[in-house]
Structure 1
Amino acid sequence: MTKGTARKRQAKLLRNFRKAHRITGAALFIFFFVISITGLLLGWKKHSGDLILSKSYAGVSTNLKHWLPIDSLHTIANTYLLDSISSELSTEIDRIDIRKNKGMVKFVYTDHIWSLQIDGTTGKVLHVERRYSDVIEKIHDGSFLDELLGTSNKQIKVFYTSFMGLALLLFTITGFWLWYGPKRMKRNKVST
């Protein structure tokens, strides 16, 4: 193969990469924008001054022997939720985070963004928060669409994250080639 043929092939490849990069960037601009903003917010959630995610408050004791039973703490959390926030809210639990080193149990609910931090020893409500970080995370990974459309096994999230991951990989490869390709062509031209 002659150097002229190789150079033409490199130029064609570069044009194809530029086209793929341009089309991918244009088609997925909104998605990349949303992912970047939500990613930044999630990265800063613990440093947001309690706006995105509240700090973990400390209970009286870290010794589990002094703690109330989990079912009692659960009852306290649900009673507070229904009496002090809204009697219309679901009490279905998404997860219970036991923070032994803080002496606290956090109850995170499934159907809304409310969360309660309860002192493991006294049962006192230490903090009530709206978990905006959970909303941001659901937007970031596309799982809000699964909730909106009622899919059974988070198929949309899996498709969305796979598709966007592959798109970002394609964008990275084509972007690298758009940077490196002309340098390579220039170097090859100089050596002829």
Structure 2
Amino acid sequence: MSYNLKRKKQARLLRIFRKIHRVTGASLFVFFFIIAITGLLLGWKKHSNGAILPKTYEGSSTDLNDWLPIDSLHTIACSVLHNAVDSGLSTNLERIDIRKHKGMVKFVFTDHFWGIQLDGATGKLLHIERRNSDFIENLHDGSILDYLFDTPGEILKLIYTSVMGLALLLFTITGFWLWYGPRRMRKVTRS
């Protein structure tokens, strides 16, 4: 293969990669921006002084024998949610976090971003928390779309993460070639 033909093929390939890189970047800019910002926030959540991740409070006893039954604590948490936050909020649970070593139990609800921390032994309210970290995480991984559109099985999250993951892989490959291709062409020119 002649030198000029080889150089033209390399230049053509470089133009194709540049176009793919530019079009992908332009069309997915907003999503990459959201992922970058939310990723930074999630990385800093434990160092946000409670602005992103709520502080975990301590109860009065770490001995589970002293604790109230979980169903009683759940009833108290639902009552606190309705009385102190909003009586119209759903009490469907996403999870119950038991922190034995802190003497605390945390109720995190499915349909909104509120959590209730109770003393495991007394049922006393320790903290009502707005779960900003959960909201940011849902933005970051795309599950906010399933939440907004009420889709089953997190299908929109799966599509979102697949598209963004493949786009990042494509960016990595085309970006590398945009860096390496001209160097390779200069090396061939010198030879």
Q: Check whether TM > 0.5.
A: yes
Tell me which moved more, 86-95 or 20-29: 86-95
In 2, Cα distance between equivalents of 1:77 and 1:190 = 74
Amino acid at match of 2:167: A
How far apart are the structure 2 equivalents of 1:94 and 1:189?
62
Equivalent residue pairs, number:
191
In the other structure, the counterpart of 2:48 is 48
Aligned position for 1:137: 137
The Cα shift of 1:68 comes to 1.5
> Cα distance, 1:54 vs. partner?
0.7
Report what 1:89 is aligned to. 89
Counterpart residue type for residue 8 of structure 1 = K
Paired residue for 1:178? 178
* Distance across 2 between alignment mates of 1:156 and 1:167: 16
Q: 2:159 matched to 1:149?
A: no
Counterpart-to-counterpart distance in 2, 1:154 and 1:146: 6
Moved more, 70-79 or 56-65: 56-65
Match of 1:113 in 2: 113
Q: 2:65 aligns to what? A: 65
Q: Partners of 2:4 and 2:98 in 1: how far apart?
A: 68
Structure 2 match to 1:163: 163
Q: What is the alpha-carbon distance in structure 2 between the residues aligned to residue 138 and residue 122 of structure 1?
A: 33
Partners of 2:134 and 2:10 in 1: CA distance: 46
Q: Tell whether 2:26 aligns with 1:29.
A: no
State the one-letter code of the partner of 1:19: K
- What corresponds to 1:126 in structure 2? 126
Aligned with 1:53: secondary structure?
Answer: coil
Provide, for residues 73-122 of structure 1, a one-character-per-residue CA deviation record: whole Å limited to 9, x for no partner: 11111111112222111111111111122221110011111101111122
Q: Could you tell which deviates more after superposition, 55-64 or 36-45?
A: 55-64
Q: TM-score, length-normalised on structure 1?
A: 0.94
Q: Which amino acid aligns with 1:12?
A: R
Q: Which aligned pairs between 1:1-16 and structure 2 lie closer than 5 A?
A: 1-16=1-16
Partner amino acid, structure 2, of 1:99: R
The code of the aligned residue for 1:53 comes to L
Q: Give 1:190 deviation, angstroms.
A: 1.4
Identity of aligned residues (%): 65
Q: Which runs of 5+ in 1 are unaligned?
A: none
Q: Where in structure 2 are there 5+ consecutive unaligned residues?
A: none
Partners of 2:51 and 2:124 in 1: how far apart?
A: 23
Report the secondary structure of 2:80's partner residue: helix
Larger deviation, residues 154-163 vs 95-104: 95-104
